[in-house]
Amino acid sequence: MASGGGTDDTKRLVGVDLDETSIERASPDIEHERAVAIYDLIEENHFAPIGDDDGGPYRLALAIVENRLVFAVTREDGTEVVTHVLSLTPFRKIVKDYFLMCTSYFEAIKTASPSQIEAIDMGRRGVHNEGSQILMDRLNGKVEIDFDTARRLFTLLCALHWRG
């Protein structure tokens, strides 16, 4: 796997697995989007569970269990580190807003002027940033991540909600 950016290879993810039993299969296009989101996350990230003095690199297993997002963190060799369970409730509105912005953007590409497309895209990125900040806030005190990693994790969170 790619070593990604950053100088400390112990504070990073080297793998992300989706729990197939809790995350519904989707269309090939959506499955592709999930794979791209995982690739982008692995390619460049900063990820360090708070209180883990032994360091990584880490693997992250994501599952949705009883309307909660489960972050199960292990070391690269499979040794358990920590599991965090986050309510999906704080993400519902922002994910819905993000999907609406994406729909508007893809519709605009067909007929709108470049300046209209750019304005919609700026709004879409703003909503994405807001969702990323919510994720950072929810992981605060649990996992140290930078904003770019939060953005990639939020993209993956959205990808988990896309249906085919």
- 105 inside domain: yes
Residue pair 73/59 in contact by the 8 Å Cβ criterion: yes
Number of separate domains in the chain: 1
Q: Is residue 31 part of a domain?
A: yes
Task: Judge contact between 75 and 81, C-beta under 8 A.
Answer: yes
Tell me which residue has tokens 């791209």. 36
Element (H, E) at 60: strand 58-65
Residue 44 belongs to some domain of the structure: yes
Q: Is residue 131 part of a domain?
A: yes
Is residue 3 included in any domain, yes or no?
Answer: no
**Domain assignment present for 7:** no
The full DSSP string for 102-133 is: HHHHHHHHHHS-HHHHHHHHHHHHHHHHHHHH
**Residue 26 pLDDT level (bands cut at 50, 70, 90):** low
Do residues 49 and 142 lie in contact, with contact meaning Cβ atoms separated by under 8 Å? yes
pLDDT in tens, 101-131: 888 888 898 999 999 999 999 999 999 999 9
pTM of the complete model: 0.84
**Domain that residue 69 falls in:** 13-161
Note whether residue 6 is domain-resident.
no
Q: What is the mean pLDDT of residues 40-69?
A: 91
